[in-house]
Amino acid sequence: MATVAELKAVLKDTLEKRGVLGHLRAKIRAEVFNALDDQGEKPPPLSHENLLINELIREYLEFNKYKYSASVLAAESGQPAMPLERQFLIKELNIFEDSNAKTV
């Protein structure tokens, strides 16, 4: 029969492999930053340009599997929860998509 310590270790390992623990850690970090942040000072409104820049940074982070950094960025910046569509970014930035490039 497994001990409580062994069950805890297996549970922790399983949650770590599924990415749940990392996501929770990132969420806790974001909440700690929010709690420490001066609540009297409101962040500036998110401009269209900053929305696009933040979205490019988020796409970079997610492409490189930096999921936790991306979730903190989204929480701190006020980005929409759902990423902007790639075609919208291409149109807004007036760039051409490389058909050979890997997509997220």
Q: What Cα–Cα distance (Å) separates residue 95 from each residue in 81, 86, 89, 92?
A: 24, 11, 8, 8
Q: In terms of C-beta density within 10 A (0-12 exposed, 13-18 middle, 19 or more buried), how is residue 38 classed?
A: exposed
Q: CA-CA distance, 24 to 68, in Å (whole number)?
A: 9
Angle between helices 67-77 and 20-36 (to 10 degrees): 30
Any domain includes 102: no
Average pLDDT of the chain, as a whole number: 82
Angle between helices 20-36 and 4-17 (to 10 degrees): 80
Any domain includes 100: no
Number of Cβ atoms within 10 Å of the Cβ of 70: 21
Confidence at residue 103, expressed as pLDDT on a 0 to 100 scale: 52
Any domain includes 26: yes
If one counts the domains in the chain, the total is 1
Any domain includes 101: no
Q: What is the pTM of this model?
A: 0.58
Any domain includes 99: no
| Residue range of the domain that includes 17 | 4-37+45-93
Averaged over 50-70, what is the pLDDT? 90
Any domain includes 98: no
Confidence at residue 60, expressed as pLDDT on a 0 to 100 scale: 92
pLDDT band at residue 90, thresholds of 50, 70 and 90? confident
